[in-house]
Amino acid sequence: MLPLFPLLAKEGVRGRFLVTQHFNRRTERAKRTALRAHATAAEQRLWQHLRNKQLGVKFRRQYSVDAYVLDFYAPRSKLAVEVDGDSHFRPAATVYDQERTRHLNRFGIEVVRFTNTEIAENIEAVLAAIGEALKRRPTTSPSPPPSKGGGEFCRSKKYITVIVNRST
């Protein structure tokens, strides 16, 4: 049987620590809070269109995956939306963004990028592109399906725990 989260299983993550070791870790909380408080005008404008499931899926602002903080993230679709300002076009920043995207892809997260200018001048096209990306992405259910061994998943606010019935 293949592991539910192959990357996490390969790294030895087990049980209820599965989610919190990589996603929205407490160690990144201050960084996420600061980024929310100092959002660019383009980020604020895009957020007004993404919040409250206006595109049919829930987006989160400044969501972290390991040490990387995503501008916007739709967890059920595993879609990250990044808003790139002028600093992203320097050679070192381009290499960093490519490395970051590769890391996120290992988790099955697709990254789409837009510039501040695209958001300011053509928000409709940006929203259409995000909508197309969402259509391409399979939506995960809120609770993963039971394993072949006849188990069930229990979900709390922060943890996903697998309970396997071994009564046979």
What phi and psi values does residue 81 have, to the nearest 5 degrees? -115, 120
Q: Domain extents for the chain?
A: 22-142
Total residues belonging to the chain: 168
Residue 23 has pLDDT above 90, yes or no: no
3: confidence class by pLDDT, cuts 50, 70, 90:
very low
Two tokens, residue 79: 């879609």
Look up the CATH architecture of domain 22-142. 3-Layer(aba) Sandwich (3.40)
Residue 71 has pLDDT above 50, yes or no: yes
Residue 76's nearest CA partner among 138, 27, 126 is: 138
Instruction: Check residue 78 and report its DSSP letter.
Output: T
Tens-place pLDDT, residues 79-97: 999 998 776 567 777 898 8
Residue 141 has pLDDT above 60, yes or no: no
Q: Contact 45/114 with Cβ under 8 angstroms? A: no
Cβ-based neighbours of 61, under 8 Å, separated by 6 or more: 36, 39, 47, 71, 72
Report pTM.
Answer: 0.67
Residue 155 has pLDDT above 50, yes or no: no
